[in-house]
Chain A
Amino acid sequence: MTTSGRSGLIHDEPLLFERSREGRRGVPVDETDVPLLDPAAVLGEDLLRGDIEGFPELSELDVVRHYTRLSQWNFSIDAGFYPLGSCTMKYNPKLNETVAALPGIREAHPLAPDEAIQGMLALAWELEQALAEISGLDRVTLQPAAGAQGEFVGMKIIQAHHRARRETQRKRVLIPDTAHGTNPASAALNGLEVVEIRVGRDGIVHPDAVAAALDERVSALMLTNPNTLGLFETHAAEVADRVHEAGGLVYMDGANLNALLGVAKPGHMGVDVMHFNLHKTFSTPHGGGGPGSGPVAVKNLLAPYLPTPVVRREDERYRLDHELPDSIGRVHGFLGNAGIWVRALAYLRTLGAPGLAELTERAVLNANYLLAELRESYDVPHEGRVMHECVLTDRLQQAHGVTTADIAKRLMDMGFHPPTIYFPLVVAGALMIEPTECESLETLDEFVEAMRRIADEAERSPEKVTAAPTLPKVSRLDEVRAARKPRLRWLPDEG
């Protein structure tokens, strides 16, 4: 079987501003039936600007062609295999888009009175209950707009807990060196000091390493489970016990929850707070880098600190409760990315409990299959059963002058999105591969064949790999130039 990359006919396309022609009209604007006023007469000349200099003037077809052409320069899940580790690029069901576009949802105003938004509040409640059940925790907020904001909220809740117990000296957060960069950044945004915990040679966190860092200054441990090496943190429960004995709490980064649905509940492993990435585990589209949605679940003892408002259910009616005296406050203008979390709820309702258990099983099956098929051709830094993703390195290819970056670029020529590269940082030249449950055996086999071919090319004709990619619209970019003399907008004199 051949791999799936082909070149096709794509078009060049200038910037909107270069396509613009003075006097060209786009979509017509409906007239109004009140007298049209002269802004100068209402507001006075002094408040008014002139034309918005540089704003484009295009026909509707200009705009349609512009964005259709741009779209064709993108790789997407709809078009191909996207094994980006820790990003869970699974199929985004079209049904969920239809749900989010229902007029009663799309047109719902966030400041309408409770009696006018009973449907939205019921959906929020339904999702909160489902996420609580999945996590084995008690209460959920849907307010965080993405995983990083969820981390921020979770860490603030933990700080509020310590403050209520008058343990304000707890300013340290233990974070394994396999963690995502958002973990230390979210801790820092909370004014906390990061203490890095080194994982063992087997790639996971060991109770002794955590115990050695524990004292009365420790606020929390932030743990990603399974971790970014795709390994289950086997000692999670014991580690959590140690943290609790020292008066700290355990935060779980739920980025890799796709491996645990129905298999194990974070709440039963000693986790006190966690966030979900609905745009990963629960299939909402990544949108070229957002919008995401990062709900947070907590144990009952932390419920008083949840962001306001919280959804309450009383006698079959729902209301938004703003009166939470110990709340950490608000983190979003309204109730989070509702248009995203309703999609996640649609996904959950489509799958039900058996569907969730099945997806996790298949996600883990696919990752282990890829690892089994690739281990002959690539270095495997950590042995052990993987969960939803596996990590390889370029150690064998480096001998021929071929690096992880080269392998990634060569995969594009073969029709695949590369894996996550150079992450986790603890593995030199990491290639982190997460196939998700949605991919068929044929797709996995095509990917295996491409990866083996690249390994083979690295030995026999490394220049083929180092010159890649050749099929995409552009070749490798000059990133140094972009950073040294930043051009972050179009300007007419440069046009």
Chain B
Amino acid sequence: MSYTPHTPEEIRFMLERIGIASLDELWSSVPAALRARAELKLAPALAERSLLAHFRERAEQNRTAANSISFLGAGAYRHFIPSAVDALASRGEFATAYTPYQAEISQGTLQAIFEFQTLICQLTGLDVANASLYDGASAAAEAALMSLRVTRRRRLLVSAALHPHYRQVLETYTAELDCEIASLPLAADGRTAVAPLPDDLAAVLVQYPNVLGCVEDLRAHAEAAHRAGALLVCVTAEPFALALLRSPGELGADVAACEAQAFGVPLSFGGPFVGVLAARQQHVRQLPGRLIGETVDSNGERAFVMTLTTREQHIRREKATSNICTNQGLCALRVAIYLSLLGRRGVRQLARINLSLAEYAKERLAEARLRLPYAAPTFNEFVVEVPDLANRYPDMVERGLLPGLPLERLDPERRDQLLICTTEMIGREQIDRLVRELGA
């Protein structure tokens, strides 16, 4: 089975037209010494029913929110996805189209991305947003690279409460470049300390809310960064927070690097997700990734097209702002559909529910005499200290409870700290069970 339609008679006819006698002659330009002598050693082919059975068996070996109670977040959030999101995003006209290089027959994708860029600008309070990047981690890295280009400086200061995976990706992206990365330490309340900064910095990267769930004082960080002549890059992994919190743009951030997965994109084991960069107008030509702009066609009708492409690799090659070629088009589309379905009030209503659940959980855990080490305000994630966590965790998982993320797995020094996330998929009963298990 290879999804090929050729009949033996058609193959004979085609070979004749090509002017060769056998299929083997198709490989005449491949030296015999390089030709494979044996068939590939792969598992036998499966027809649809057996194939589904194989994958279903594998899928059922996973413990997920489909068969357990999950309080996992930390950069990958489980929110409810209305049926219309899947129905619309899975239309073949969207899913099986390519990059909209031929604008006349790609207006659907182009307008949808233009709308996506607008929604991201509204949410982040910034002027321009790109058509998306691979994920939040690479968006943060691209934001850092952008700040090096904008300021022509070579030092970056990164909050100690930036998601460690994001920090690692940033380090990978900058490893071969002439630049230095240092850490901004945490204050006792779980937020990044605000301190005077050296004046040779390209950017300060702060996560909002941070990886401990704490809502940073973004305005203070923006002021400190600007006094040093640096950009403030605001990284957001849980964009629902931005429905309630003052936007990065309003608080003075120059660049927002977001992971927008929480808006209608399933967990799918961590990808495909959807990173996005938003920035101020004056930096648009240093923004990496695809941009869709409005124009008119030869009849004067409104139309959309990929624009400012001289920043991109297919035009500028090694002088491009980034090597990125794709965006996460279909995921960006899901985000736009999701936000349209929830609308202006729905997004804020859901954010309020998320916040309320976290507050309820914090209260109950405190009543159970578990320590909440950080006093800073939080949104839908927070840290609790659970004595002997590492030893107790596997049993809880076995009993169908994924109680959150032991932070020791991200940072060995955070023993017994558990990061708990409460989205609207969680209810009182599940929180009560969590508290009983953790408090026991």
Taken together as a complex, chains A and B put the C-alpha atoms of A36 and B352 apart, in Å, by 7
Q: A338 CA to B132 CA in the complex, in Å?
A: 18
Contact B45 A349 (CB under 8 A): yes
Which residues on B sit within 8 Å (CB–CB) of A346?
51, 55
CB distance A182 to B176 under 8 Å? no
Cross-chain contact A70 with B111 (CB below 8 angstroms): yes
**Contact present for A107 and B66 (CB under 8 Å):** yes
Taken residue by residue from 85 to 99, chain A's Cβ proximity to chain B (1 for < 8 Å, 0 otherwise) reads as 001011111010111
Contact B343 A368 (CB under 8 A): no
The reply to whether A32 and B92 contact each other, CB–CB distance below 8 Å, is: no
A-side contacts of B215, CB under 8 Å: 43, 47
| Chain A residues positioned under 8 Å from B28 (CB to CB) | 385
Contact with A along B283-296 (1 / 0, CB 8 A): 01000001111111
A9 CB-CB contact with B under 8 Å: no
Whether the pair A68, B91 counts as a contact (CB closer than 8 A) is: yes
Residue B183 CB within 8 A of the other chain: no
Q: How far is the CA of A127 from the CA of B109 in the complex (A)?
A: 31
Closest 3 CB pairs of A and B: A334-B270, A104-B59, A110-B270
Quick one: given A27-B342, A145-B272, A182-B323, are A477 and B296 in contact (CB under 8 Å)?
Answer: yes
In the complex the two chains form, what is the Cα distance from A109 to B405 in whole Å? 11
Question: Is B93 a contact partner of A355 (Cβ separation < 8 A)?
Answer: no
What residues on B are CB-neighbors of A333 within 8 Å? 75-76, 135-138, 163, 165-166, 169, 259, 270-271, 273
Q: Smallest CB-CB separation from A358: which chain B residue?
A: B2
- Of residues 111 to 157 in A, which have CB atoms within 8 Å of B's CB atoms? 111-113, 115-120, 122-123, 126, 130, 133-134, 145-149, 151-152, 156
Taking CB atoms, residues of chain B closer than 8 Å to A265 are 36
Determine how close the nearest CB of chain B comes to the CB of A426; give it in whole angstroms: 13
Residue B70 at the A interface, CB < 8 A? yes
Q: Contact check, A489 vs B43: say whether CB atoms are below 8 A apart.
A: no
Contact B72 A111, beta carbon cutoff 8 Å = yes
Contact of B244 among A48, A60, A78 (CB under 8 A): A48
Report yes or no: A418 in contact with B36, Cβ–Cβ below 8 A: no
Chain A residues in 8 Å Cβ range of B169: 329-333
* A 403-447 binary contact with B (CB < 8 Å = 1; else 0): 000001100100001100001000000000000011111000000
The chain B residue sitting closest to A66, CB to CB, is B340
Complex: A329 Cα to B141 Cα, angstroms? 13
Cα(A152)–Cα(B355), bound, Å? 39
Tell me the nearest residue of chain B to A285, going by C-beta: B95
Beyond the given pairs A37-B355, A120-B269, 19 more chain A to chain B contacts, judged by CB atoms under 8 angstroms and listed by A's residue number, are A15-B114, A20-B344, A29-B346, A71-B94, A73-B108, A109-B64, A109-B269, A122-B58, A146-B325, A159-B176, A194-B318, A237-B33, A287-B97, A290-B327, A333-B76, A352-B46, A483-B293, A487-B293, A489-B127
CA distance A20 to B261 in the complex (A): 24
> Which residues in B have their C-beta under 8 angstroms from that of A74?
93-94, 97, 105-109
**Residue pair B91, A56 in contact (C-beta under 8 Å):** no
Total number of residue pairs linking A and B with CB closer than 8 Å: 697
Contact B172 A353 (CB under 8 A): no
Partner of B115, one of A15, A39, A364: A15
* Contacts of A468-486 to chain B: CB distance below 8 A: 469, 472-479, 481-483, 486
State how many angstroms separate the Cβ of B239 from the closest Cβ of chain A.
11
CB–CB A289/B95 < 8 A: no
Give bound CA distance, A339 to B330, whole Å: 12
Q: Is the CB of B98 within 8 A of A87?
A: yes
Task: Determine, out of B149-157, B197-205, B331-339, the stretch whose residues face the partner at the interface.
Answer: B331-339
Contacts of B122 in A (CB 8 A): 52-55
B166-203 vs A: 1/0 string, CB under 8 Å? 10110111011110000000000000000000000000
The verdict on A26 contacting B298 (CB below 8 Å), with A188-B319, A290-B327 known, is no
Query: Within B253-307, which residues are at the interface with A (CB < 8 Å)?
Result: 259, 266-273, 284, 290-299, 301, 303, 305, 307
Once bound together, how far apart are the Cα atoms of A368 and B28, in whole Å? 12
Contact status B353-A482, CB under 8 Å:
no
B131: Cβ under 8 A from any A Cβ: yes
- Number of chain B residues close to chain A: CB under 8 A: 205
Closest CB-CB distance, A267 to chain B, in whole Å?
A: 11
- Interface flag for A269 (CB, 8 Å): yes
Is A156 within 8 A of B270, CB to CB?
Answer: no
**Bitwise interface map of B from 19 to 50 toward A, beta carbon under 8 Å scored 1, else 0:** 10001001111110111100111111111100
> Could you list 13 examples of A-B contacts with CB < 8 Å?
A15-B118, A30-B80, A58-B340, A60-B341, A63-B341, A97-B90, A104-B56, A106-B266, A116-B68, A285-B95, A290-B329, A473-B107, A489-B121
- The stretch from A206-214, A228-236, A296-304, A394-402 touching chain B is A228-236
Q: Which of B55, B175, B353 contacts A32 (CB under 8 A)?
A: B353
Given A47-B215, A103-B59, A262-B36: A145 and B134 within 8 A (CB)? Answer: yes
> In the complex, how many residues of chain A place their beta carbon closer than 8 angstroms to a beta carbon of chain B?
201
Does residue A164 face the partner (Cβ distance < 8 Å to B)?
Answer: no
- Check A455 for interface membership: any CB of B closer than 8 A: no
- B29 CB contact (under 8 Å) in A185, A191, A231, A476: A231
- How far, in angstroms, from A340 to B330 measured CA to CA in the complex? 12
**CB distance A188 to B62 under 8 Å?**
no
Determine whether the beta carbon of A56 is less than 8 Å from that of B333. no
User: What B residues does A269 contact at CB under 8 A?
Assistant: 34
Q: How far is the CA of A293 from the CA of B242 in the complex (A)?
A: 29
In the assembled complex, which residues on chain A have CB atoms less than 8 Å from the CB atom of B60?
A: 104, 119
Cβ B56 vs Cβ A102 within 8 A = yes
- Choice from A66, A115, A358 contacting B397 with Cβ under 8 Å: A115
Find chain B residues with CB under 8 A from A488 CB: 114, 117, 128-129, 284, 291-294, 307
B62 contacts across to A, CB distance below 8 A: 104-105, 107-108, 112, 116-120
- A13 CA to B257 CA, complexed, in Å: 30
Q: Quick check: is B439 within 8 A (CB to CB) of the other chain? A: no
Write the nearest CB–CB distance from A385 to chain B, whole angstroms: 5
A351 to B178, CA, bound (A): 46
How many angstroms between the C-alpha atoms of A79 and B97 in the bound complex?
9
Whether, in the assembled complex, A272 has its beta carbon less than 8 Å from a beta carbon of chain B, the answer is: no
> Which residue of A25, A340, A354 is within 8 Å of B272 (Cβ)?
A340
Known: A63-B341, A110-B76, A264-B36. A147 touches B325 (CB 8 A): yes
- A269 nearest CB neighbor, chain B only: B34
Question: Across the interface, do B356 and A36 meet the contact criterion of CB distance under 8 Å?
Answer: yes
Nearest-neighbor residue (CB-CB) of A386 within chain B = B29
- B326: shortest Cβ distance to chain A, in Å? 4
Decide yes or no whether B374 CB sits under 8 A from chain A: no
Q: Does A1 contact B (CB under 8 A)?
A: no
Check if B433 is an interface residue, CB within 8 A of chain A.
no
A389 interfacial contact with B, CB 8 Å: no
- Does B391 sit within 8 A of A, measured CB to CB? no
Q: Known: A24-B343, A60-B341. Is A133-B40 also a contact (CB below 8 A)?
A: yes
* Contact (Cβ within 8 A) A92 B64: no
Chain B nearest Cβ from A308, distance in angstroms:
8
Interface residues in A311-363 by Cβ distance below 8 A to B read 328-340, 342, 346, 348-359, 361-362
CB within 8 Å of B: which of A4-44? Answer: 13, 15-17, 20, 24-30, 32-37, 39, 42-44
Check A43 against B244 for contact (C-beta < 8 Å). yes
Residues of A close to B356: CB separation below 8 A: 32, 34-37
On whether the beta carbons of B266 and A107 are closer than 8 Å, the reply is yes
Give the distance in Å from the alpha carbon of A337 to the alpha carbon of B82 in the complex: 22
The answer on a CB contact under 8 Å between A469 and B313 is: no
Q: Which of A72, A118, A279, A289 contacts B100 (CB 8 A)?
A: A289
Chain B residues in 8 Å Cβ range of A355 = 1-2, 45
Asked whether A338 lies within 8 Å of B269 as measured between CB atoms, the reply is yes
B247 within 8 A of A: yes
A416 CB to closest chain B CB, in angstroms? 10
